[in-house]
Amino acid sequence: GEDVEQSLFLSVREGDSSVINCTYTDSSSTYLYWYKQEPGAGLQLLTYIFSNMDMKQDQRLTVLLNKKDKHLSLRIADTQTGDSAIYFCAETPRGSGYALNFGKGTSLLVTP
């Protein structure tokens, strides 16, 4: 399938905000998702946004959606060392049942 694009690495200092960006491919995706993966583990859903929304906030997480540009971002406020992980953006493209199409993931490193 077509690629969901993400930058591969991001490094921030503890206490700063992190912004992870994603460009998705299918304008018909109903939901868009952010998943987190810790080393050697499976993926856990962090948050999702319905396609008719522009923004969703959940505690330290803010998701922004720009449907015109097919751009999704995840902002983590007051980033902590425990936030160091790989973050995946995902969409639901047509023709794959309910399977999600994932980006390559952004490795977030939080330094003290």
Partner 1 sequence: DGGITQSPKYLFRKEGQNVTLSCEQNLNHDAMYWYRQDPGQGLRLIYYSQIVNDFQKGDIAEGYSVSREKKESFPLTVTSAQKNPTAFYLCASSMKGGTGELFFGEGSRLTVL
Q: Residues in the site for partner 1, rule: CB under 8 A?
A: 1, 8, 30-31, 33, 40-45, 48, 88, 90, 92, 96-105
CB of 75 to partner 1, least distance (A): 21
Alpha-carbon separation of residue 12 from 21, 24, 28, 51, 77 (angstroms): 14, 24, 33, 29, 11
Cα–Cα distance for residue pair 30/28, rounded to 1 Å: 6
CB of 15 to partner 1, least distance (A): 29
Q: Is the CB of 79 or the CB of 101 nearer to partner 1?
A: 101
Q: Is the CB of 14 or the CB of 53 nearer to partner 1?
A: 53
CB of 79 to partner 1, least distance (A): 22
Cα–Cα distance for residue pair 18/78, rounded to 1 Å: 8
Q: Is the CB of 85 or the CB of 103 nearer to partner 1?
A: 103
Q: Is the CB of 77 or the CB of 109 nearer to partner 1?
A: 109
Distance of CA 97 to the CA centre of its chain: 21
Strand partners, 55: 64
